[in-house]
Amino acid sequence: MNYTQQNTPIHEALLKHKKNRVVPFDVPGHKGGRGNPELTEFLGMDCLKVDVNSMKPLDNLIHPVSVIKAAEELAAEAFHADAAFFMVNGTTSAVQAMIMSTCKAGDKIIMPRNVHRSSINALVVCGAIPVYVNPGVNHELGIPLGMSVNDIKTTMDANPDAKAILVNNPTYYGVCSNLKEIVTLAHENGMYVLVDEAHGAHFYFGEELPISAMDAGADMAAVSMHKTGGSLTQSSFLVCKNSIDPGYVRQIINLTQTTSGSYLLLTSLDLARKHMVLHGKEIVAKTMYLAEYARTEINKLGGYYAYSSEIINGDTVYDFDRTKLSIHTSNIGLAGVEVYDLLRDEYDIQIEFGDIGNILAMVTAGDRQFEIERLISALSEIKRLYGKEKVGMLNHEYIDPVVELTPQAAFYSPKKSVALEDGIGHIAGEFVMCYPPGIPILAPGERISKDIIDYIKYAKDKGSVLTGPKDMKVEFINVVEE
């Protein structure tokens, strides 16, 4: 069958399967919902009837030959790639598959230190060695930025044997590096370009947006369709082009991805791809309008700073994603995480995250004008009721790490547990991060400094959810025995 972007091969096959009223003597055991009435009442019979197992008419995610293969080909076309893979273990698994497809144990990979934990987790698993490029820092906002092209050149010259470079496009805050120039540099030096595009799925479908990974000529990109593309949570695409061997990439994916791919997730990706191809320009335009309106009104409140393309500097902020509503809060005397908690607890507004000095409200075309107004008025009230002098506020979101061991060596080395403050001077044997956004404050193999401990204590005090350590209260930390 000749499919076009109007088609949804997996979705269409499921509709046919449902119509055929097939008698299920296979898994899942809920048997179309009949075996679990409470779950069926919660999710609906229509949903449970298509929560099915792989079978010949529905293809198989680990070895697609029919409808999943067709859906992947349509996705590759939509993302201007040579090949695309449906990922159901989250964008985390897509990021890890990129790294593990291009780097083996002992290989070097260049990356900014403000990567998501999934990137460093991949290094723990595969044994590749990180070569960090410290991102630029905006000291007024306290946020890490993109990588400077000159810093990348210097790093590549010092590490000509590196196999790949990983780039965030964009960062959580909306900041983009000069991706096209990075691709040119990397390819001149025989290195692959891997792009964590967790927050840039919409770049492929809208106008007036930063360049996408595939359009910039990158080799691989992890595209989080569930974040800004409309699919279900945990569903993602991995796309690739150039000299990447798709057969080998699938083998790598199959090392860790489930053999029981959820057809609910797969169908959501299929439908989201179609929806964005057909309506992406209008979707992005509406998102942009809502974000720009909110930004303008929030900046009129005083104290808050909702930043945008004016922070572009041609290097560490080469471009900015204006659909991101990133807001600096420190000038009203409140940490971002405090504003985050107040919005949720007092105003029933759930935003994406709050860190030490900023909040991020995810805006999409699924939002409505009155909800934007509600956010603006809540922020106004928070400033009036809870705002205070900016005294004793920590102002940095990024601390340059001192890397002593590879993440893998540190993670698997003999360790001992010490009180948090006693960790100063030791090498970390585990992660510590605020989640979200999931960017490690401390990664295995890094020397623990007083600055890092002060940051962790401050984040705890302000109400951040800290994850990573074995001790979930983060009173103790595992350090490498030296």
Whole-structure pTM value: 0.95
| Cβ neighbours for 333, distance < 8 A, ≥ 6 positions apart | 387, 388, 389, 390, 391, 393
Residue with tokens 């009442």: 41
Is the pLDDT assigned to residue 397 strictly greater than 70?
A: no
When pLDDT is cut at 50, 70 and 90, the band that residue 152 belongs to is very high
Residue 96: its H or E element:
helix 90-102
Q: Are strands 192-197 and 164-168 parallel, antiparallel or unpaired?
A: parallel
63-72: pLDDT as tens digits: 999 999 999 9
Cα separations (Å) of 27 from 33, 56, 361?
12, 14, 39
Contact status, residue 229 vs residue 201, Cβ threshold 8 Å:
yes
Q: Are strands 164-168 and 108-112 parallel, antiparallel or unpaired?
A: parallel
Residue 383: its H or E element:
helix 369-386
Length of the chain: 482
Q: Among 94-108, 278-292, 375-389, 448-462, whose mean pLDDT is lowest?
A: 448-462
When pLDDT is cut at 50, 70 and 90, the band that residue 396 belongs to is low
Is the pLDDT assigned to residue 97 strictly greater than 90?
A: yes
Pick from 369, 380, 303, 308: nearest CA to 343? 380
When pLDDT is cut at 50, 70 and 90, the band that residue 33 belongs to is very high
Contact status, residue 276 vs residue 230, Cβ threshold 8 Å:
yes
Q: Which residue(s) pair with 132 in the sheet? A: 111
Burial of 38 (0-12, 13-18, 19+ CB in 10 A): exposed
Contact status, residue 217 vs residue 188, Cβ threshold 8 Å:
no
Pick from 309, 282, 109: nearest CA to 207? 282
Domains (ranges, CATH) in the chain? 9-276 (3.40.640.10), 280-386 (3.90.1150.10), 407-480 (3.90.105.10)
Contact status, residue 325 vs residue 349, Cβ threshold 8 Å:
no
227-267: pLDDT as tens digits: 999 999 999 999 999 999 999 999 999 999 999 999 999 99
pLDDT at 437 (0 to 100): 77
Q: What is the largest CA-CA distance in the chain?
A: 67
269-308: pLDDT as tens digits: 999 999 999 999 999 999 999 999 999 999 999 999 999 9
Contact status, residue 319 vs residue 349, Cβ threshold 8 Å:
no
pLDDT at 458 (0 to 100): 87
User: Is cis: bond before 64, omega within 30 of 0?
Assistant: no
Residue 251: its H or E element:
helix 246-256
